[in-house]
Protein backbone atom coordinates (compact mmCIF):
# COMPACT_ATOMS: atom_id res chain seq x y z
CA UNK A 1 0.00 0.00 0.00
CA UNK A 2 1.37 3.39 -1.00
CA UNK A 3 2.19 5.86 1.72
CA UNK A 4 0.54 9.27 2.00
CA UNK A 5 2.62 12.27 0.91
CA UNK A 6 3.43 13.17 4.53
CA UNK A 7 4.32 9.56 5.33
CA UNK A 8 6.58 9.34 2.26
CA UNK A 9 8.38 12.58 3.16
CA UNK A 10 9.02 11.36 6.70
CA UNK A 11 10.06 7.89 5.47
CA UNK A 12 12.57 9.21 2.92
CA UNK A 13 16.15 9.18 4.13
CA UNK A 14 19.44 9.30 2.28
CA UNK A 15 20.26 5.59 2.45
CA UNK A 16 23.96 4.85 2.00
CA UNK A 17 23.76 1.06 1.96
CA UNK A 18 21.14 -1.07 0.25
CA UNK A 19 20.09 -4.67 0.92
CA UNK A 20 21.88 -6.90 -1.64
CA UNK A 21 19.17 -9.56 -1.41
CA UNK A 22 16.25 -7.31 -2.37
CA UNK A 23 15.53 -6.26 -5.94
CA UNK A 24 13.49 -3.36 -7.24
CA UNK A 25 10.64 -3.51 -9.71
CA UNK A 26 11.89 -1.47 -12.69
CA UNK A 27 8.33 -0.62 -13.71
CA UNK A 28 7.71 0.98 -10.32
CA UNK A 29 10.96 2.96 -10.57
CA UNK A 30 9.89 4.11 -14.04
CA UNK A 31 6.52 5.15 -12.62
CA UNK A 32 8.33 7.20 -9.99
CA UNK A 33 10.32 8.93 -12.74
CA UNK A 34 7.00 9.68 -14.47
CA UNK A 35 5.88 11.27 -11.20
CA UNK A 36 9.17 13.16 -11.14
CA UNK A 37 8.53 14.92 -14.43
CA UNK A 38 5.24 16.27 -13.05
CA UNK A 39 7.29 18.62 -10.89
CA UNK A 40 7.04 22.37 -11.44
CA UNK A 41 9.58 23.62 -13.95
CA UNK A 42 10.58 27.15 -14.93
CA UNK A 43 8.46 28.33 -17.89
CA UNK A 44 7.40 24.70 -18.35
CA UNK A 45 10.55 24.17 -20.44
CA UNK A 46 11.34 20.80 -18.82
CA UNK A 47 15.06 21.06 -19.59
CA UNK A 48 15.85 17.60 -18.26
CA UNK A 49 16.43 13.96 -19.10
CA UNK A 50 16.36 10.93 -16.79
CA UNK A 51 18.64 7.97 -17.30
CA UNK A 52 17.32 4.82 -15.62
CA UNK A 53 20.24 2.43 -15.16
CA UNK A 54 19.45 -1.25 -14.57
CA UNK A 55 22.25 -2.99 -16.48
CA UNK A 56 24.62 -4.55 -13.93
CA UNK A 57 27.77 -3.90 -15.98
CA UNK A 58 26.81 -0.25 -16.36
CA UNK A 59 25.94 -0.03 -12.67
CA UNK A 60 29.43 -1.27 -11.80
CA UNK A 61 31.06 1.30 -14.09
CA UNK A 62 28.98 4.11 -12.62
CA UNK A 63 29.86 2.95 -9.12
CA UNK A 64 33.58 3.32 -9.90
CA UNK A 65 32.95 6.82 -11.28
CA UNK A 66 31.15 7.59 -8.01
CA UNK A 67 34.31 6.54 -6.09
CA UNK A 68 32.64 3.24 -5.13
CA UNK A 69 30.75 4.95 -2.32
CA UNK A 70 28.29 2.49 -0.74
CA UNK A 71 25.21 4.31 -2.03
CA UNK A 72 26.47 3.55 -5.55
CA UNK A 73 28.21 0.20 -5.08
CA UNK A 74 25.18 -1.38 -3.34
CA UNK A 75 22.51 0.30 -5.50
CA UNK A 76 20.21 -2.07 -7.35
CA UNK A 77 19.33 0.63 -9.85
CA UNK A 78 20.52 4.18 -10.46
CA UNK A 79 18.67 7.20 -11.81
CA UNK A 80 20.67 10.09 -13.25
CA UNK A 81 19.03 13.48 -13.71
CA UNK A 82 20.58 15.39 -16.60
CA UNK A 83 20.07 19.09 -17.35
CA UNK A 84 19.60 20.01 -21.03
CA UNK A 85 19.54 23.79 -21.12
CA UNK A 86 20.53 23.56 -24.77
CA UNK A 87 17.05 22.25 -25.60
CA UNK A 88 15.28 25.52 -24.75
CA UNK A 89 14.35 26.30 -28.37
CA UNK A 90 12.83 22.85 -28.89
CA UNK A 91 10.95 22.95 -25.58
CA UNK A 92 9.61 26.45 -26.29
CA UNK A 93 8.39 25.24 -29.69
CA UNK A 94 6.70 22.23 -28.07
CA UNK A 95 4.88 24.54 -25.69
CA UNK A 96 3.71 26.68 -28.61
CA UNK A 97 2.44 23.57 -30.42
CA UNK A 98 0.62 22.44 -27.28
CA UNK A 99 -1.16 25.76 -26.84
CA UNK A 100 -2.08 25.79 -30.52
CA UNK A 101 -3.76 22.41 -30.06
CA UNK A 102 -5.58 23.50 -26.91
CA UNK A 103 -6.42 27.02 -28.12
CA UNK A 104 -10.16 26.39 -27.77
CA UNK A 105 -9.68 25.99 -24.00
CA UNK A 106 -8.01 29.40 -23.64
CA UNK A 107 -9.32 32.92 -23.80
CA UNK A 108 -7.99 34.98 -26.70
CA UNK A 109 -6.00 37.06 -24.23
CA UNK A 110 -4.34 34.05 -22.57
CA UNK A 111 -3.58 32.49 -25.94
CA UNK A 112 -1.91 35.69 -27.14
CA UNK A 113 0.08 35.92 -23.90
CA UNK A 114 1.42 32.37 -24.22
CA UNK A 115 2.42 32.98 -27.84
CA UNK A 116 4.30 36.17 -26.95
CA UNK A 117 5.90 34.52 -23.94
CA UNK A 118 7.40 31.58 -25.84
CA UNK A 119 8.20 33.50 -29.02
CA UNK A 120 9.66 36.63 -27.40
CA UNK A 121 10.33 36.38 -23.66
CA UNK A 122 11.96 32.95 -23.65
CA UNK A 123 14.38 33.74 -26.52
CA UNK A 124 15.22 37.03 -24.80
CA UNK A 125 16.17 35.18 -21.60
CA UNK A 126 17.90 32.12 -23.08
CA UNK A 127 19.48 33.30 -26.34
CA UNK A 128 23.23 33.65 -25.95
CA UNK A 129 26.63 33.43 -27.63
CA UNK A 130 29.61 32.40 -25.53
CA UNK A 131 28.13 34.22 -22.56
CA UNK A 132 28.57 37.62 -24.24
CA UNK A 133 24.95 38.31 -25.19
CA UNK A 134 23.66 37.20 -21.80
CA UNK A 135 26.11 39.51 -20.00
CA UNK A 136 25.07 42.48 -22.16
CA UNK A 137 21.41 41.72 -21.38
CA UNK A 138 22.28 41.58 -17.69
CA UNK A 139 23.96 45.01 -17.79
CA UNK A 140 20.98 46.52 -19.63
CA UNK A 141 18.55 44.97 -17.13
CA UNK A 142 20.64 46.32 -14.22
CA UNK A 143 20.43 49.84 -15.61
CA UNK A 144 16.70 49.63 -16.28
CA UNK A 145 16.27 48.13 -12.81
CA UNK A 146 17.40 51.43 -11.30
CA UNK A 147 14.13 52.96 -12.44
CA UNK A 148 11.58 50.13 -12.35
CA UNK A 149 11.04 46.50 -11.50
CA UNK A 150 13.10 44.40 -13.89
CA UNK A 151 13.85 40.72 -14.43
CA UNK A 152 17.58 40.30 -13.82
CA UNK A 153 18.42 36.59 -14.10
CA UNK A 154 19.79 36.94 -17.61
CA UNK A 155 23.40 35.78 -17.39
CA UNK A 156 24.34 32.32 -18.65
CA UNK A 157 25.09 31.33 -15.06
CA UNK A 158 21.59 32.48 -14.02
CA UNK A 159 19.74 30.41 -16.60
CA UNK A 160 21.99 27.46 -15.77
CA UNK A 161 20.94 27.72 -12.12
CA UNK A 162 17.28 27.96 -13.14
CA UNK A 163 17.55 24.76 -15.19
CA UNK A 164 19.27 22.93 -12.33
CA UNK A 165 16.63 24.10 -9.83
CA UNK A 166 13.89 22.65 -12.01
CA UNK A 167 15.77 19.38 -12.41
CA UNK A 168 16.29 19.20 -8.64
CA UNK A 169 12.56 19.65 -8.07
CA UNK A 170 11.89 16.73 -10.42
CA UNK A 171 14.52 14.63 -8.62
CA UNK A 172 12.86 15.34 -5.29
CA UNK A 173 9.47 14.37 -6.75
CA UNK A 174 11.08 11.11 -7.85
CA UNK A 175 12.62 10.37 -4.46
CA UNK A 176 9.40 11.13 -2.55
CA UNK A 177 7.50 8.91 -4.98
CA UNK A 178 10.03 6.12 -4.41
CA UNK A 179 9.54 6.49 -0.66
CA UNK A 180 5.79 6.22 -1.21
CA UNK A 181 6.34 2.74 -2.63
CA UNK A 182 8.68 1.78 0.21
CA UNK A 183 11.78 2.13 -1.97
CA UNK A 184 14.89 4.00 -0.85
CA UNK A 185 17.22 6.47 -2.54
CA UNK A 186 20.39 8.45 -1.99
CA UNK A 187 21.27 11.55 -4.05
CA UNK A 188 25.03 11.65 -4.53
CA UNK A 189 27.34 14.60 -5.12
CA UNK A 190 30.59 12.66 -5.27
CA UNK A 191 31.25 11.66 -8.88
CA UNK A 192 33.36 12.50 -11.92
CA UNK A 193 30.84 14.29 -14.14
CA UNK A 194 33.00 14.18 -17.28
CA UNK A 195 33.42 10.41 -17.05
CA UNK A 196 29.69 9.94 -16.46
CA UNK A 197 28.94 12.02 -19.55
CA UNK A 198 31.39 9.98 -21.59
CA UNK A 199 30.02 6.67 -20.31
CA UNK A 200 26.43 7.61 -21.19
CA UNK A 201 27.40 9.34 -24.47
CA UNK A 202 25.73 12.55 -23.36
CA UNK A 203 25.69 15.70 -25.46
CA UNK A 204 28.54 18.12 -24.77
CA UNK A 205 26.23 20.75 -23.27
CA UNK A 206 24.47 18.26 -20.99
CA UNK A 207 25.11 18.65 -17.27
CA UNK A 208 24.72 16.07 -14.52
CA UNK A 209 22.27 17.36 -11.95
CA UNK A 210 22.07 14.37 -9.65
CA UNK A 211 23.00 10.70 -9.43
CA UNK A 212 20.52 8.79 -7.30
CA UNK A 213 21.25 5.34 -5.92
CA UNK A 214 18.12 3.20 -5.50
CA UNK A 215 17.39 0.09 -3.45
CA UNK A 216 15.89 -1.23 -0.23
CA UNK A 217 17.55 0.06 2.92
CA UNK A 218 19.66 -1.88 5.32
CA UNK A 219 19.40 -0.73 8.92
CA UNK A 220 23.04 0.37 8.90
CA UNK A 221 22.42 2.24 5.64
CA UNK A 222 20.68 5.02 7.57
CA UNK A 223 23.37 6.88 9.46
CA UNK A 224 21.57 7.65 12.73
CA UNK A 225 18.56 9.75 13.58
CA UNK A 226 17.50 12.54 11.26
CA UNK A 227 19.02 15.90 12.26
CA UNK A 228 17.46 19.23 11.34
CA UNK A 229 18.26 22.62 12.83
CA UNK A 230 15.42 23.97 14.98
CA UNK A 231 12.46 24.95 12.82
CA UNK A 232 12.33 28.37 14.48
CA UNK A 233 15.76 29.17 13.00
CA UNK A 234 14.58 28.72 9.42
CA UNK A 235 10.93 29.76 9.63
CA UNK A 236 10.38 33.49 9.21
CA UNK A 237 6.85 34.85 9.20
CA UNK A 238 6.18 38.46 8.25
Percent of the chain predicted with pLDDT > 70: 100
Q: What is the pLDDT of residue 131?
A: 85
Q: Are 130 and 100 in contact (CB under 8 A)?
A: no
Residue 29 inside a domain? The answer is yes
- Helix axes 132-144 and 156-180, enclosed angle (nearest 10): 100
pTM (predicted TM-score): 0.93
- For residue 235, being part of any structural domain is answered with no
Angle, helices 26-36 vs 156-180, to 10°: value is 140
- The whole-number pLDDT of residue 93 equals 97
Residue 143's CATH number: 3.40.109.10
Provide the residue range defining the domain that includes 126: 1-221
pLDDT of residue 58: 98
- Cα distance between residue 5 and residue 181, in whole Å: 11
**How confident is the model at residue 162, as a pLDDT?**
96
Give the pLDDT confidence of 71-87 residue by residue, as tens digits. 999 999 999 999 999 99
Count of structural domains within the chain: 1
Is it the case that residue 225 has pLDDT exceeding 80?
yes
Residue 127 maps to a domain: yes
d(CA 61, CA 65): 6
Which residues neighbour 29 within 8 Å (Cβ) at sequence distance 6 or greater? 52, 77, 79, 178, 183, 214
Distance of CA 59 to the CA centre of its chain: 21
In this prediction, residues 46-62 reach a mean pLDDT of: 98
Three-class SS of residue 77?
Answer: strand
Q: Is residue 82 part of a domain?
A: yes
Q: What is the mean pLDDT of the chain?
A: 95
Evaluate if residue 237 carries a pLDDT over 80.
Answer: yes
232 assigned to some structural domain = no
Mapping DSSP to helix (H, G, I), strand (E, B) and coil, where does residue 68 land?
Answer: coil
Query: Residues 114-129: what's their mean pLDDT?
Result: 93
pLDDT of residue 2: 85
SS3 readout for 162-214 = HHHHHHHHHHHHHHHHHHHCCCEEEEECCCCHHHHHHHCCCCCCCEEEEEEEE
Band (pLDDT 50/70/90 cuts) for residue 106 is confident
Amino acid sequence: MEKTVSEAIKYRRSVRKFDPSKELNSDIVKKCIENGVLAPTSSNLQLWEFYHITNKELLNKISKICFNQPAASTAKQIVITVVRKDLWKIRASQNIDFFNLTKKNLSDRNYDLTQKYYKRAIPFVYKDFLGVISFIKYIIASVIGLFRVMYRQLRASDTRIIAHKSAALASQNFMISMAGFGYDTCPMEGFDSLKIKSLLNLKKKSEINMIIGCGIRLKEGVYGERFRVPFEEVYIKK
